A and B are shown apart, each in its own frame.
Chain A
């Protein structure tokens, strides 16, 4: 058994992973594997998501009403996948999370800039 809880496994703050998932789904419905690949690719392979951490997050967000899901046929292969899409509440949450993130990022940037000058 790995010696850390799943939150530590992601290497991300819980809120950050949630925000990335919501951001990914703004482009349209996707299944878990697509979401993981998208986050990995768009971050230039910097954010290597442990796939296992994704599903509890998806289920949690769905429970909060920010996502809705539906089983649907895979676009290429002959199998069914569970597609997630953003709900209006999820959209609002994304906007809130993004602005919070912006503020945090700027604050950190200022601290770091000051540290470099010192």
Chain B
């Protein structure tokens, strides 16, 4: 192509020279004239070359080399800009890696979107629970009568004491239908899954083990198949090992045994304890399945009005079931970090503008030398992109570090936590947003540099107009930055206020100074109530004898641990409730001294006692709410209630005491009616005591070895798990709120710093550009106070405009967080006002330094400058 042009130009020169010679010039003169008429061949060649695509790449390479040289020449600018960018990009990438792992990547099951959990949908006046665990009778009828699922499988979570061949440990697992693994389309890495025969009434003692249990406890030995494990003191034969990472239905599950529902259970519609998974037939939608099961549920209601009135069906896709609760919080956090990234862009834009002041002449000279505007724009963008790549690389390193911190900090109930990692798509995201951020931050300075007139830039005298334009651009960026800052800070403020509210919720007990741990008794060895009571009483007495321990007791379900049991009850002397009108009560089994240990106030009557046994009339202690809603006249003591209907063959339970309300499942839910059953009268429930509480005046953690030896002095085969303080339990119950607050709070601090730097930058720039004006003012007698006010007012004006815009944006945006809030509205005035005052204070603080400098301008120096 270049050769072609050379030939063409040579031909042109010869033609022109021929013509000139014909006019009478000598050969030399003719050649010279021809050359002069053509002009610079170099420029022609440049112009032609600029038409080809390769030329663009060549120019880009040149721009990049030049940009790199510039960055090396101004390392301070390069470092500050790259670090700021890295912070924004790294934070965004880290959050994206969580979103990617938890929300975006498909679940590790074939066609996971065809998998769905099926729940009962209970909607009674006193008991609203959109997702209740299905009763086996309902499960069977759904399974047998539906036409939209290939199959349904049932599960029931449980825990096993694994004993023999090493220390006793407690392992979570599930009792599952044999069809579960076929539904999930998961194959074992070793052995086989269950046969239908093993999943009958009186199920076979066979077990599937999880991969990590196989590697950690059994050394990945292939001979594990056929071996016998002692689970809850019963022998189980291992038939298979599940693949690495397979945990179902809960994230800790590592052991699976056949569920084996009995014919009696399969006919039961009133006892709700299963979880049900289904696989939709190909092409069937969730809505179609819902219609199908709704019709079955309606038939069941007609057929079994006592148990199935107001019992519908809720179908949730497995992805929705797994991550539905965390989607909103994660997206809100991603949105907030995105705003932070925009603030970073504005900040870097500001830095670039500041540098553009210094480079104004460089660009004027380049323009004068013939560089086209497009070419110079490209140069500026190339520099931005170079900066972006640098910032992106640093950001990726930051994100890598941030991701390990996130995995460590993430609440344990965050699904798919172990999948969070910096992988290819996360890295691609990182560099994409880094480049985008670089281009966005480069746009305003680049456009602004184009707006200037060549002559003005070359002549120093008229510099004022360029600086004014630049100051306008910087003002705009600071306003944008402040507005974004308002939104981020309001988000953080709302979460903070929610968290404070949540932490101050009266839980009903005193968590300080209480150690808790779990010891579950295997049913095979502790068959009778006498055996169990003997164990409880012995352990209680020995624990209380420990130095520093004031009291010790046990309960079936510790408060705030998201687990518990509920039953419908009848009150003596009241007519049987109409179908769907039953009263529900949370019930717990406790040992004597539980209320004293937890510092739950005894309001009337007495505590449960060891003398309350299955041989004496059944006694219960009820909560204040129960007493008030069942016996509003305040005469609850001595009254009787029973589980189920008045005609049911369950014992009457006599109220012997009333205690204060306790938040049972979590901090958010208001206390529901509750009753406590004495440990030695567990025939009413069959619940055993698992969670122990020990109140101590000494350091709780120092007590742990003594506690272990007490338990093992009574029974040396029992695993002791969940050793923690009650404070930790309380704190863990707000783990997801803490996680959200921690992240958003961190972003808010960064936002505040960025806003301060932005205001500082623009006021300092304005002071430096106005030195002469300020000098004149000083010379004319302006007081330092007036100058201080002048500069502070500049910063304050920008901040106020930003606050106004940001507040409006926040009012519109915070609604999306309302489900994350507790006890404060999404438009909480306190938060909005507080954020505005904070930002105003920070901005005034940031402009104070330049303002102070303004007061010290020496008029003589300033005017001579």
B368 touches A32 (CB 8 A): no
List residues 18-52 of chain A with CB under 8 A from any CB of chain B: 31-34, 37, 50-52
Once bound together, how far apart are the Cα atoms of A55 and B16, in whole Å?
A: 14
Once bound together, how far apart are the Cα atoms of A77 and B51, in whole Å?
A: 31
Known interface pairs A33-B16, A60-B51. Does A82 touch B369 (Cβ–Cβ under 8 Å)?
no
B9 at the interface (CB under 8 A from A): yes
Binds B, one of A1-9, A85-93, A108-116: A1-9
B372 at the interface (CB under 8 A from A): yes
CB B35 to nearest CB in A, in angstroms, measures 10
Residues on A with C-beta less than 8 A from B14 are: 77, 79
B4 at the interface (CB under 8 A from A): yes
A15 at the interface (CB under 8 A from B): no
CB A33 to nearest CB in B, in angstroms, measures 4
Q: Which residue of B lies closest to A62 (CB)?
A: B51
Contact with B along A48-70 (1 / 0, CB 8 A): 00111101100110010000000
Residues on B with C-beta less than 8 A from A55 are: 5, 8-9, 12, 44, 47-48
B51 touches A63 (CB 8 A): yes
- Taking a contact as CB atoms closer than 8 A, the residue among B7, B9, B51, B368 that contacts A80 in the complex is B7
Residues on B with C-beta less than 8 A from A51 are: 12, 16, 37-39
B47 touches A56 (CB 8 A): yes
A4 touches B39 (CB 8 A): no
Known interface pairs A6-B43, A51-B37. Does A79 touch B11 (Cβ–Cβ under 8 Å)?
yes
B529 at the interface (CB under 8 A from A): no
List residues 6-47 of chain B with CB under 8 A from any CB of chain A: 7-9, 11-12, 14-16, 18-19, 37-41, 43-44, 47
A97 at the interface (CB under 8 A from B): no
B282 at the interface (CB under 8 A from A): no
B370 at the interface (CB under 8 A from A): yes
Interface centre among A53, A55, A77, by most B CB within 10 Å? A55
Once bound together, how far apart are the Cα atoms of A34 and B8, in whole Å?
A: 12
B43 touches A52 (CB 8 A): yes
Residues on A with C-beta less than 8 A from B12 are: 31-33, 51, 55
List residues 382-431 of chain B with CB under 8 A from any CB of chain A: none
B44 touches A81 (CB 8 A): no
A1 touches B11 (CB 8 A): no
CB A5 to nearest CB in B, in angstroms, measures 6
A82 touches B51 (CB 8 A): no
Once bound together, how far apart are the Cα atoms of A113 and B7, in whole Å?
A: 48
Q: Which residue of A lies closest to B373 (CB)?
A: A5
Q: Which residue of B lies closest to A64 (CB)?
A: B51
Q: Which residue of A lies closest to B5 (CB)?
A: A55
B47 touches A81 (CB 8 A): no
B8 touches A2 (CB 8 A): no
B11 touches A81 (CB 8 A): yes
Residues on B with C-beta less than 8 A from A59 are: 5, 48, 51
CB A97 to nearest CB in B, in angstroms, measures 20
A82 touches B4 (CB 8 A): yes
Once bound together, how far apart are the Cα atoms of A81 and B48, in whole Å?
A: 18
Known interface pairs A50-B39, A51-B38, A51-B39. Does A80 touch B48 (Cβ–Cβ under 8 Å)?
no
CB B377 to nearest CB in A, in angstroms, measures 15
CB A73 to nearest CB in B, in angstroms, measures 11
Once bound together, how far apart are the Cα atoms of A97 and B704, in whole Å?
A: 93
Residues on B with C-beta less than 8 A from A53 are: 39
Tell me how many residue pairs across A and B have CB atoms closer than 8 Å. 76
Known interface pairs A55-B44, A77-B18. Does A1 touch B369 (Cβ–Cβ under 8 Å)?
yes
Once bound together, how far apart are the Cα atoms of A37 and B370, in whole Å?
A: 28
B38 touches A3 (CB 8 A): no
- Taking a contact as CB atoms closer than 8 A, the residue among A2, A32, A74 that contacts B40 in the complex is A2
Q: Which residue of B lies closest to A48 (CB)?
A: B37
- Taking a contact as CB atoms closer than 8 A, the residue among A2, A32, A52, A81 that contacts B370 in the complex is A2
A3 touches B39 (CB 8 A): no
CB B23 to nearest CB in A, in angstroms, measures 13
Interface centre among B15, B18, B369, by most A CB within 10 Å? B15
- Taking a contact as CB atoms closer than 8 A, the residue among B4, B7, B11, B48 that contacts A33 in the complex is B11
A32 touches B8 (CB 8 A): yes
CB B364 to nearest CB in A, in angstroms, measures 12
Residues on B with C-beta less than 8 A from A52 are: 38-41, 43-44
CB B26 to nearest CB in A, in angstroms, measures 18
Known interface pairs A31-B11, A80-B7. Does A6 touch B38 (Cβ–Cβ under 8 Å)?
no
CB A58 to nearest CB in B, in angstroms, measures 9
A82 touches B16 (CB 8 A): no
B370 touches A5 (CB 8 A): yes
Residues on B with C-beta less than 8 A from A1 are: 40, 43, 369-370
CB B403 to nearest CB in A, in angstroms, measures 49
A56 touches B8 (CB 8 A): no
Residues on A with C-beta less than 8 A from B44 are: 52, 55-56
Residues on B with C-beta less than 8 A from A79 are: 11, 14
Residues on A with C-beta less than 8 A from B47 are: 6, 55-56
A3 touches B370 (CB 8 A): yes
B8 touches A82 (CB 8 A): yes
CB A101 to nearest CB in B, in angstroms, measures 24
Once bound together, how far apart are the Cα atoms of A6 and B12, in whole Å?
A: 18
B15 touches A31 (CB 8 A): yes
Once bound together, how far apart are the Cα atoms of A74 and B48, in whole Å?
A: 24
Once bound together, how far apart are the Cα atoms of A4 and B371, in whole Å?
A: 9
Once bound together, how far apart are the Cα atoms of A79 and B18, in whole Å?
A: 12
Residues on B with C-beta less than 8 A from A9 are: 39
Residues on B with C-beta less than 8 A from A80 are: 7, 11
CB A57 to nearest CB in B, in angstroms, measures 9
Q: Which residue of B lies closest to A4 (CB)?
A: B370
B372 touches A5 (CB 8 A): yes
Residues on A with C-beta less than 8 A from B48 are: 55-56, 59
Once bound together, how far apart are the Cα atoms of A53 and B12, in whole Å?
A: 13
Contact with A along B500-522 (1 / 0, CB 8 A): 00000000000000000000000
CB A94 to nearest CB in B, in angstroms, measures 21
Once bound together, how far apart are the Cα atoms of A53 and B47, in whole Å?
A: 9
Q: Which residue of A lies closest to B9 (CB)?
A: A55
Once bound together, how far apart are the Cα atoms of A77 and B99, in whole Å?
A: 75
Residues on B with C-beta less than 8 A from A34 are: 15
Q: Which residue of A lies closest to B11 (CB)?
A: A81
CB B18 to nearest CB in A, in angstroms, measures 7
Residues on A with C-beta less than 8 A from B37 are: 50-51
List residues 350-395 of chain B with CB under 8 A from any CB of chain A: 368-370, 372
Residues on A with C-beta less than 8 A from B368 are: 3
Interface centre among A3, A34, A59, A82, by most B CB within 10 Å? A59
Once bound together, how far apart are the Cα atoms of A6 and B50, in whole Å?
A: 12
Once bound together, how far apart are the Cα atoms of A32 and B48, in whole Å?
A: 14
Q: Which residue of B lies closest to A37 (CB)?
A: B19
Q: Which residue of A lies closest to B16 (CB)?
A: A33
CB B556 to nearest CB in A, in angstroms, measures 83
Once bound together, how far apart are the Cα atoms of A52 and B44, in whole Å?
A: 6
Q: Which residue of A lies closest to B42 (CB)?
A: A1
Residues on B with C-beta less than 8 A from A2 are: 39-40, 43, 370
Residues on B with C-beta less than 8 A from A77 are: 14-15, 18
Residues on A with C-beta less than 8 A from B8 are: 32, 55, 81-82
List residues 525-570 of chain B with CB under 8 A from any CB of chain A: none
Once bound together, how far apart are the Cα atoms of A3 and B15, in whole Å?
A: 28
Residues on B with C-beta less than 8 A from A37 are: 19
8 pairs of A and B residues whose beta carbons are closest in the complex: A52-B39, A56-B47, A33-B15, A51-B38, A82-B8, A81-B11, A59-B48, A52-B44
Sampled A-B contacts (22; CB under 8 Å): A1-B370, A2-B39, A3-B368, A3-B370, A5-B372, A33-B12, A34-B15, A37-B19, A50-B39, A51-B16, A51-B38, A51-B39, A52-B41, A55-B9, A55-B44, A56-B44, A56-B47, A60-B51, A77-B15, A81-B8, A82-B7, A82-B8
Beyond A5-B370, A71-B7, 15 additional pairs, beta carbon < 8 A:
A1-B43, A1-B370, A5-B372, A31-B11, A31-B15, A32-B8, A32-B12, A50-B39, A55-B9, A55-B12, A56-B48, A77-B15, A80-B7, A81-B11, A82-B7
Binding site for A on B (CB under 8 A): 4-5, 7-9, 11-12, 14-16, 18-19, 37-41, 43-44, 47-48, 51, 368-370, 372
